[in-house]
């Protein structure tokens, strides 16, 4: 083999080695669970909800692992998400109650946070821990505030959303996550990356 062929052969081998090494390094991925920060202010609607129903906001939980889900539990979560999305007529708080923000358990009409409250309530009645059911404020791609329910699991954080009948991992949604209820106290909220207050209301 002459020198030119040897050089070419070595170059091909090096290229293959480098390509294999690059393929073996996975691309960075968003964490499966949200990273929460400091205690922050409640959304005004949740604060007023707590003034009306203080027992809802005084539940304290000890630190515990997230829920371990089996197929039955996932089916329950999906069924609850779909059923509640279909049960109520979507209306903004302004249209339904004449005010910008009014968090409540829905009867006929519901805004995004009302869907989240009802899902949280029914899943808790079915045995899920409140520390794993966290109302969460997000920002939609168009900049509008929105509220969803976060389900903490050992597989990561998942989102129940009145705008989507599928239950998605939080990092598969189009949202920017701002703040959520604390796992240790139903009346406290913590930041998610950069938290800020927004009026939350979104319809289909």
Q: What is the per-residue pLDDT for 199?
A: 54
| 3 state DSSP class of 157 | strand
Rounded mean pLDDT of 31-60? 94
Indicate the pLDDT class of residue 7, thresholds 50, 70 and 90: very low
Residue 32 has pLDDT above 50, yes or no: yes
pLDDT tens digits along 114-152: 999 999 999 999 999 999 999 999 999 999 999 999 999
Positions of E strands within 49-162: 89-90, 109-110, 133-139, 145-153, 156-161
Question: Looking at the DSSP assignment, which residues form a beta bridge with residue 145?
Answer: 139, 200
Distance of alpha carbon 195 from alpha carbon 190, whole angstroms: 8
The pTM (predicted TM-score) of the whole model is 0.81
Q: CA 16, 22, 26, 29: dihedral to nearest 10 degrees? A: -140
Q: Which residues contact 26 (CB under 8 A, 6 or more apart)?
A: none
Give the class (CATH, top level) of 36-192: alpha beta
Indicate the pLDDT class of residue 62, thresholds 50, 70 and 90: confident
Would you say 128 and 81 are in contact if contact means Cβ atoms under 8 Å apart? no
Domain range annotation of the chain: 36-192
Q: What is the per-residue pLDDT for 202?
A: 53
């Amino acid at each position: 083999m002459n020198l030119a062929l040897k050089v070419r052969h070595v170059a091909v081998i090096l290229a293959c080695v480098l390509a294999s090494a690059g393929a073996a390094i996975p691309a960075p991925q968003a964490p499966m669970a949200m990273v929460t920060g400091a205690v922050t202010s409640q959304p005004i609607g949740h604060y007023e909800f707590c003034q009306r129903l203080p027992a809802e906001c005084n539940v304290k939980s000890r630190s515990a692992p997230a829920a371990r889900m089996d197929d039955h539990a996932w089916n329950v979560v999906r069924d609850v998400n779909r059923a509640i999305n279909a049960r109520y007529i979507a209306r903004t708080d302004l249209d339904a109650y004449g005010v910008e923000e009014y968090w409540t358990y829905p009867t006929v009409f519901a805004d995004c946070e009302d869907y989240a409250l009802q899902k949280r309530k029914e899943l808790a009645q079915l045995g899920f821990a409140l520390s794993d059911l966290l109302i969460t404020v997000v920002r939609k791609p168009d900049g509008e505030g929105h509220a969803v329910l976060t389900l903490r699991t050992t597989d990561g954080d998942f989102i129940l959303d009145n705008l989507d009948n599928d239950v998605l991992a939080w990092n598969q949604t189009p949202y920017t996550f701002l703040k959520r209820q604390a796992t240790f106290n139903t009346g406290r909220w913590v930041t998610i990356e950069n938290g800020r207050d927004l009026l939350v209301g979104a319809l289909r």
